[in-house]
């Protein structure tokens, strides 16, 4: 039996007719690609404006009572150019009239925002000679606006089962009353994942404009090596720390179904990209460290109390003070008589006085020390468990670079080592870690 592939193409991959032609070539050259999920046209050049952003501007102009027609005309012109250059027959004027009429009836912003993927997908379906399936008919949110997985998976499956090839617009679905609702920005990745899961695809290809995920931030490290293989767990750690390649919610539907995601580059279709899977083929050789990611903007609140270890519930009470003040903790390294709670600085600063007062009143600590301007770096790799001396290498490379480590936290699964350094040492640390742990 032949495999089934769901392929999602992002905004830059479908930004104009020549990009759409590239995507179409990829699609047509692989008969296993049965379903395509399309984004709205993205940026064609650096200072260009994405169609979705134009749609949001159009909506806010309308909502303020300003003249929105010129923006709507700009949107129309983007599509007219695409239609003309692809040589398809598509009545864009009628579509734009419908949008304008609906807009006059004051529709929700989500309706307008969704039209970018709606129109692009219709045009692409025409160009490919495939069936267009409106996401509003198959992707559902409940009355509270939460994604309704069960109903959606069933409906997408039932609808697509009998259609050999379909194009589904990304980014939106509908509410029980029929109103359009979008996912958060970048949400076409989520639609792609939903379609892959519902159609029991063998693989979810996510076509974008980079050769996959990189092992470090290219703004800090020159030409970092791409990541060929990564597990979902590693991806989660790296994305949480700021490495972004996919919408965060796009992982869950396919991960649950054990479907791998392959990030590919529309502009370099021969590159293998990054394969994200639950577990990787045995013969794949990987470095102990898969990637490095980090973020600035943390504060560490270190609470010291002698014989703290003998007091049951001390840690729980401390964390509860943060949680009831609405400040989630990010890391929590502990010593015998100390606990540090590492939190996001901007969230902490808003509640700082209350939190400190409550700690003093409720826990009577000996000392509270606050360290601001902390950057947190995660060195992530499942291979670290079996590679001896990884931690030693992490610390010596930072020492050699003259960096003072201000916090260390190792996840219990030995998947990552988390290091806190001064924000001013952040870039130096990432470079040092990259060259000792990855480049070598
Ligand atoms: N077009 C939407 C956005 O710009 C969704 C997407 O492209 O994934 O956020």
Instruction: Report CA(299)–ligand 1 centroid distance (Å).
Output: 33
Q: Which residue among 11, 181, 208 is best mutated to probe the pocket of ligand 1, counting the most ligand atoms within 8 A of its Cβ?
A: 11
**Interval between CA 310 and ligand 1 midpoint (Å):** 52
Q: What is the mean pLDDT of each run of 10 residues along the chain (440 residues)?
A: 93 98 98 98 97 96 89 96 96 94 82 97 98 98 96 97 97 95 97 98 96 93 94 89 86 94 97 92 84 96 88 91 95 89 96 97 95 95 83 93 90 83 97 92
pLDDT at 204: 98
421 Cβ partners below 8 Å, 6+ apart?
374, 375, 377, 398, 403, 404, 405, 406, 429
Give 170 Cα–ligand 1 centroid separation in angstroms: 8
What's the 313 CA to ligand 1 centre distance in angstroms? 45
Angle between helices 51-63 and 69-86 (to 10 degrees): 150
Ligand 1 centroid to residue 39 C-alpha, Å: 6
Residue 189 Cα: closest atom of ligand 1 = 8
Q: Tokens 């670079």 appear where?
A: 401
Atom nearest to 186 CA in ligand 1: 8
Separation CA 407–CA 419 (nearest Å): 6
* Residues 6+ positions from 329 with CB-CB distance below 8 Å: 319, 322, 323, 341, 342, 343
169 CB near ligand 1 (under 6 Å): no
| Residue 12 Cβ contacting ligand 1 at under 6 Å | no
How far is Cα of residue 54 from the mean position of the Cα atoms in its chain?
Answer: 22
Residue 386's pLDDT is what?
75
pLDDT of residue 385: 75
Residue 318 tokens read as 């401390």
Looking at residue 412, its pLDDT comes to 66
Q: Which atom of ligand 1 is nearest to the CA of 247?
A: 8
Give me the count of residues in the chain. Answer: 440
CA–CA separation, 347 and 435 (whole Å): 33
Q: What is the pTM of this model?
A: 0.89
> How much distance in Å is there from the Cα of 118 to the middle of ligand 1?
12
Protein residue whose Cα sits closest to atom 8 of ligand 1: 186
Can you give the pLDDT at residue 280? 80
Determine the distance separating the centroid of ligand 1 and the alpha carbon of 150, expressed in angstroms: 24
The residue contributing the CA closest to ligand 1 atom 5 is: 186
Does the Cβ of 52 fall within 6 Å of ligand 1?
yes
> Which three-class secondary structure state does DSSP give residue 411?
coil
Phi, psi of 138 (to 5 degrees): -130, -15
Four-point Cα dihedral 389, 394, 398, 403, nearest 10: -120
- Coil/strand/helix, residue 265: strand
């Amino acid at each position: 039996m032949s495999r089934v592939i769901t392929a999602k193409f992002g905004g830059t991959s479908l930004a104009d007719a020549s990009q759409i032609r590239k995507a179409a070539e990829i699609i047509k050259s692989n008969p296993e690609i049965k379903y395509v999920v399309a984004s709205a046209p993205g940026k064609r050049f650096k200072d260009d404006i994405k169609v979705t952003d134009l749609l949001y501007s159009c909506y806010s102009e309308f909502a303020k009572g300003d003249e929105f027609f010129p923006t709507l005309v700009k949107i129309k012109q983007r599509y007219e150019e695409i239609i003309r250059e692809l040589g398809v027959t598509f009545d864009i004027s009628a579509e734009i009239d419908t949008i304008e009429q609906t807009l006059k009836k004051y529709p929700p912003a989500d309706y307008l925002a969704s039209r970018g993927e709606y129109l692009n997908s219709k045009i692409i379906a025409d160009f490919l000679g495939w069936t267009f399936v409106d996401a509003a008919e198959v992707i559902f949110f409940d009355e509270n606006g939460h994604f309704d997985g069960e109903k959606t998976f069933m409906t997408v499956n039932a609808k697509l089962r009998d259609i050999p090839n379909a194009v589904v617009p990304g980014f939106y679905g509908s509410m029980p009353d029929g109103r359009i609702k979008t996912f958060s920005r970048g949400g076409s990745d989520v639609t792609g994942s939903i379609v892959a899961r519902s159609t029991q695809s063998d693989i979810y290809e996510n076509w974008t404009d980079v050769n996959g995920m990189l092992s470090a931030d290219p703004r800090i490290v020159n030409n970092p090596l791409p990541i060929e293989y990564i597990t979902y767990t590693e991806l989660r750690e790296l994305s949480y720390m700021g490495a972004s390649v996919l919408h965060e919610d796009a992982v869950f539907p396919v991960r649950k179904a054990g479907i791998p995601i392959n990030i590919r580059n529309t502009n370099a279709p021969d590159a293998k990209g990054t394969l994200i899977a639950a577990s990787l083929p045995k013969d794949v050789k990987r470095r102990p460290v898969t990637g490095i990611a980090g973020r600035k903007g943390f504060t560490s609140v270190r609470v010291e109390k002698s014989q703290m270890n003998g007091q049951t519930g001390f840690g729980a009470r401390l964390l509860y003070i943060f949680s009831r003040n609405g400040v989630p903790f990010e890391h929590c390294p502990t010593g015998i008589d100390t606990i540090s709670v590492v939190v996001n600085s901007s969230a902490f600063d808003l509640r700082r006085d209350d939190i400190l007062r409550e700690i003093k009143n409720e826990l009577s600590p000996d000392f509270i020390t606050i360290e601001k301007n902390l950057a947190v770096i995660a060195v992530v790799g499942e291979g670290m468990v079996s590679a001896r001396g990884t931690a030693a290498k992490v610390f010596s490379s930072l020492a050699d670079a003259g960096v003072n480590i201000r916090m260390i936290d190792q996840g219990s699964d030995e998947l990552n080592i988390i290091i806190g350094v001064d924000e001013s040492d952040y870039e130096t640390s990432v470079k040092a870690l990259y060259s000792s742990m990855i480049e070598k």
